[in-house]
């Protein structure tokens, strides 16, 4: 691998991975804040307003981090991936520009009012600002997923004689069939992150015996929404997304599953280590026929293995792809079990007193972040060796004049700066949690 | 034709960004000088707190517009100005968190630290934006594939071996710094009262002379250095309307300021910035990124733009989208109108 290519890939991978730690919470939290504000309006219970205000403060810190780490993402299309941008900018520039015009203006305008304007606005108007922030952030998700979906499954384009990629159908681009499941899967993932965070903080307060009125609201909201969202991650959204991959990127599916040989009645590997030299899965624990059923809805269907594809079509880091996928599914399954159990205890009215379960909810906080990151790694590593699937290879897209040394210089700069940001973020969020949902200090 | 429409729209987006984020950059530049105590610092921050983030969206939306309308320009300029843009990104990050984080901890160390970062990042950003504009007017060494890469500096001369920083781009940077300082002063005057406002008034009056001097030198230097400018203005004399707007704005700032008309002085400052930017855009046209090596290598509205279908369909969503965005902005600025509380 050319070292400039490796540096530019790592540059984008690192900055986007760090960036997405923040929007995944804010997009999900925007929905939960609307739910809390709605409950406050309907019941007139001041606790809901306090809960909403507390999460709005957490939201604001995350949003600021998301904004400052988001600007580099748009820039890097040009700085590090100039050949790709030159050829494909006429297509994906549409969705990126639409994100700015339709979502960011909406989101930023009303976030200012939502955070600073509660005293200046009527309760209903303040609710509306929260709703518009939610709408803006979810539209932003749509345009970004549409951009990624086009790279995963290009649609609505044609090639001109010079190799430039021209937009051919606007609706083909914004209604690309790949978008629907990926969008729903991703946004549901954001709701999982936010609801686990809410339940986790609720469990923390409950276990510490602080702010227990608010803790109950956090636990109830987090667990109910979380149970629905974690289930929806597997079905229908995960299933739908998986079938899109299976039908359109079959070699990616084989790599994700560590399936080397073409077989009828293909199994799913729960664990195992793919060995790409000897072309086998070591130490496998298999569920027979499951992959065939999930992919084609027939237990005995044939699924093609990696050996039946030319090696230059294989994703270039199969072990990492395989592990990313398995980590995502494994943690997703764990979160479903935890949320369903918590929902059962909540329904029986015993959640607040079950210390073991509260501890489990508290400690589950990192899992949705890891699962979401692993999910995105699965999508993007699975797209390799293509930058635009079937159209442009990743190696063809990098900036021709930016050397590995200059790329490494700025990558190191981002590593250092983001380390500082990460520490500041944790420090500030910890202070907000410590301060708690009651204005004017602890009870 | 449609390419020219998009050239104008991109210019409007960039002008929108400079006018809007310009005042909060300017507020950042001057706050260490004009705001002497905690209450005054807070007033400056409160005057931009709810809007700076929305103002920065103009950069993202403008960047996105540039990306899809002129992909060859976006990819050439962003990869060619690689080092400068990465520094811009780092400064934007530092500046953003300094605004958001300072109020979280009440400490004698925490707040002054972030105040310094806020001021320094704002000042450097103004300089870098100016230098970037200077690079576009001067031209860059585009290769046969339409790419280039500029070191940060070489011999500080704007010849064919020029780096990002030479005496000319430094001059544009200094002019941008002075202009945004003035712009920030008039924003703070508009939004505050008392001693803070008084000090901003004094500073605004002084900085005006610097803006006038730098604008004059810059104009002479630009016409001397980039022969295309004089040719373009000679060929289309109606284009003098743009420098005239800048001049009108600059003297408007003086006149309204001395009469104590705060809003008019601020708007005149906006007009000055728009006039300067549109003058540069008009003078460079039909180039969007000229070459400083051979004129035919330059990127123009024609050879850098996306295909006509995309540009036409883009108009269909861009115009209603930006109308909506304008409505939000007007709504927000009206809700937040008036002086911030002391």
Assembly ipTM: 0.91
C-alpha closest to that of A292 among A269, A325, A330, A263:
A263
B229's torsion region: left (phi>0), alpha (psi -120 to 50) or beta?
alpha
> Are residues B67 and A78, on separate chains, in Cβ contact within 8 Å?
yes
What the block records as the tokens of B111 is: 């707040």
- List of chain A residues whose C-beta atoms are within 8 Å of the C-beta of residue B67: 74, 77-78, 85, 89, 93, 96-97
Looking at chain A, which residue has its C-alpha nearest residue B79?
A: A79
Q: Give yes or no for A299 touching B (CB within 8 A).
A: no
3 state DSSP class of A165: strand
> Are residues B82 and A69, on separate chains, in Cβ contact within 8 Å?
no
Nearest Cα of chain B lies from the Cα of A36 at a distance, in angstroms, of: 23
Q: Give yes or no for A86 touching B (CB within 8 A).
A: yes
Asked if B45 and B53 touch (Cβ cutoff 8 Å), the reply is no
Is the bond preceding B306 in cis, omega lying within 30 degrees of 0?
no
Query: CB-CB: which of B77, B89, B325 is closest to A101?
Result: B325
pLDDT tens track, chain B, 342 positions = 899 999 999 999 999 999 999 999 999 999 999 999 989 999 999 899 888 888 888 999 999 999 999 999 999 999 999 999 999 999 999 999 998 888 888 888 999 999 999 999 999 999 999 999 999 999 999 998 999 998 888 888 887 888 899 999 999 999 999 999 999 999 999 999 999 999 999 999 999 999 999 999 999 999 988 888 889 999 999 999 999 999 999 999 999 999 999 999 999 999 999 999 999 999 998 999 998 888 889 999 989 998 899 999 999 999 999 999 999 888 888 887 888 877
- Give the span between the Cα atoms of A8 and A12, in whole angstroms: 6
What the block records as the tokens of A213 is: 């009125």
- List of chain A residues whose C-beta atoms are within 8 Å of the C-beta of residue B56: 67, 71, 108
Q: What is the mean pLDDT of each run of 10 residues along chain A (443 residues)?
A: 86 97 97 96 91 94 92 95 94 94 91 85 92 96 97 94 88 94 97 97 95 94 97 94 93 93 91 91 90 89 92 94 95 97 95 94 97 97 95 94 94 96 94 83 30
Chain centroid to CA B155: 26
What the block records as the tokens of B155 is: 């011999």
Q: Give yes or no for B75 touching A (CB within 8 A).
A: yes
Q: Select from A75, A91, A116, A120 the residue whose CB has the most chain B CBs within 10 Å, as the one to mutate to test that interface.
A: A75
Residues 381-400 in A contacting B (C-alpha not used; CB under 8 Å):
399-400
Question: What pLDDT is attached to residue A183?
Answer: 97
CA distances from A291 to A31, A256, A305, B176, B190 (A): 34, 11, 12, 61, 66
Residues 10-49 in B contacting A (C-alpha not used; CB under 8 Å):
49
Looking at chain B, which residue has its C-alpha nearest residue A109?
A: B54
Question: What pLDDT is attached to residue A443?
Answer: 28
Nearest Cα of chain B lies from the Cα of A361 at a distance, in angstroms, of: 28
Radius of gyration of chain B from Cα atoms? Answer: 20
Residues in chain B: 342
Q: Where are the domains of chain A?
A: 3-247+332-368+392-435
Question: What pLDDT is attached to residue A442?
Answer: 29
Q: Give yes or no for B148 touching A (CB within 8 A).
A: yes
Q: Where are the domains of chain B?
A: 2-335
CA distances from A282 to A153, A269, A272, A275, B66 (A): 32, 10, 5, 7, 50
**Which residues are CB-neighbours of A72 under 8 A, at least 6 positions away?**
A15, A19, A414, B89, B93
What the block records as the tokens of A292 is: 């065939």
Residues in chain A: 443
Question: What pLDDT is attached to residue A439?
Answer: 67
- Give the span between the Cα atoms of A31 and A228, in whole angstroms: 14
Place of tokens 């918590």: A342
Question: What pLDDT is attached to residue B102?
Answer: 87
DSSP 8-state code for residue A388: E
Query: CB-CB: which of B86, B310, B332 is closest to A90?
Result: B310
Q: Side-chain half-sphere of B218: how many Cα atoms within 13 Å?
A: 27
- Give the span between the Cα atoms of B111 and B128, in whole angstroms: 26
């Amino acid at each position: 691998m050319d070292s400039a290519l490796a540096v530019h890939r790592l540059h984008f991978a690192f900055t986007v991975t760090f960036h997405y730690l923040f929007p995944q919470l804010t997009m999900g939290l925007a929905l939960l804040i609307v739910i809390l504000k709605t409950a406050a309006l309907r019941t007139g219970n001041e606790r809901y307003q306090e809960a909403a205000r507390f999460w709005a403060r957490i939201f604001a810190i995350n949003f600021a981090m998301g904004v400052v780490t988001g600007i580099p993402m748009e820039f890097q299309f040009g700085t590090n991936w100039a050949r790709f941008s030159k050829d494909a900018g006429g297509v994906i520039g549409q969705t990126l520009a639409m994100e700015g015009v339709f979502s960011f203006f909406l989101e930023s305008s009303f976030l200012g009012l939502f955070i600073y304007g509660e005293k200046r606005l009527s309760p209903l108007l303040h609710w509306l600002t929260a709703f518009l922030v939610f709408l803006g952030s979810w539209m932003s998700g749509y345009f970004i997923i549409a951009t990624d979906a086009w790279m995963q499954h290009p649609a609505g384009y044609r090639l001109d004689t010079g190799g430039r990629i021209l937009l051919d159908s606007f609706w083909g681009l914004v209604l690309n069939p790949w978008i629907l499941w990926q969008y729903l899967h991703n946004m549901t993932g954001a709701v999982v992150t936010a609801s686990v965070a809410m339940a986790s903080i609720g469990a923390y307060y409950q276990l510490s015996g602080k702010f227990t009125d608010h803790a109950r609201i956090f636990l109830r909201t987090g667990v109910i929404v979380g149970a629905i969202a974690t289930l929806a991650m597997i079905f229908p959204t995960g299933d739908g997304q998986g079938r899109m991959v299976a039908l359109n990127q079959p070699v990616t599916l084989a790599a994700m599953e560590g399936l080397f040989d073409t077989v009828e009645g293909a199994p799913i590997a729960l664990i195992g280590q793919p060995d790409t030299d000897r072309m086998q899965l070591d130490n496998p624990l298999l569920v027979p026929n499951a992959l065939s059923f999930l992919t084609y809805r027939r237990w005995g269907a044939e699924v093609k293995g990696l050996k039946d594809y030319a090696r230059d079509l294989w994703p270039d880091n199969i072990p990492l792809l395989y592990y990313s996928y398995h980590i995502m599914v494994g943690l997703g399954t764990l979160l479903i079990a935890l949320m369903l159990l918590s929902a059962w205890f909540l329904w029986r009215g015993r959640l607040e007193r079950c210390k073991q379960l509260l501890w489990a909810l508290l400690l589950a906080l990192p899992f949705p972040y890891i699962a979401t990151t692993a999910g995105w790694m699965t999508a993007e590593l699975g797209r390799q060796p293509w930058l635009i699937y079937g159209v442009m290879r990743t190696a063809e897209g990098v900036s021709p004049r930016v050397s590995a040394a200059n790329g490494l210089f700025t990558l190191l700069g981002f590593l250092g700066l983001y380390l500082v940001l990460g520490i500041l973020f944790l420090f500030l969020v910890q202070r907000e949690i410590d301060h708690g949902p009651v204005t004017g200090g602890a009870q | 034709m449609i390419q020219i429409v998009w050239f104008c729209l991109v210019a409007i987006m960039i002008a929108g960004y400079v006018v809007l984020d310009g005042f909060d950059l300017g507020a950042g530049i001057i706050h260490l000088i004009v705001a002497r105590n905690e209450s005054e610092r807070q007033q400056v921050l409160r005057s931009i707190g709810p809007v700076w983030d929305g103002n920065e969206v103009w950069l993202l939306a403008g960047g996105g517009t540039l990306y899809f309308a002129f992909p060859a320009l976006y990819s050439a300029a962003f990869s060619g100005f690689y080092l400068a843009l990465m520094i811009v990104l780092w400064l934007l990050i530092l500046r953003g968190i300094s605004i958001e984080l300072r109020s979280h901890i009440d400490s004698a160390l925490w707040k002054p630290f972030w105040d310094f970062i806020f001021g320094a990042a704002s000042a450097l950003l103004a300089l870098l934006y100016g230098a970037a504009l200077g690079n576009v007017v001067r031209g860059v060494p585009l290769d046969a594939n339409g790419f280039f890469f500029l070191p940060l500096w070489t011999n500080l001369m704007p010849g064919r071996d020029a780096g990002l920083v030479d005496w000319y781009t430094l001059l544009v940077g200094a002019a941008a710094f002075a202009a945004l300082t003035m712009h920030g002063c008039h924003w703070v005057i508009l939004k505050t009262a008392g001693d803070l406002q008084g000090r901003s008034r004094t500073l605004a009056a002084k900085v005006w002379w610097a803006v006038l001097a730098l604008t004059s030198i810059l104009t002479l230097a630009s016409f001397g250095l980039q022969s295309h400018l004089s040719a373009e203005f000679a060929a289309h004399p109606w284009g003098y309307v743009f420098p005239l707007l800048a001049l009108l704005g600059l003297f408007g700032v003086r006149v309204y300021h001395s009469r104590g008309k705060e809003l008019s002085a601020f708007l005149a400052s906006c007009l000055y910035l728009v006039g300067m930017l549109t003058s540069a855009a008009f003078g460079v046209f039909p180039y969007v990124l000229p070459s400083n090596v051979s004129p035919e290598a330059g990127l123009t509205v024609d050879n850098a733009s996306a295909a006509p279908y995309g540009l036409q369909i883009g108009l269909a969503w861009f115009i209603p989208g930006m109308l909506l965005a304008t409505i939000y902005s007007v709504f927000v600025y009206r809700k937040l109108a008036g002086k911030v509380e002391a």
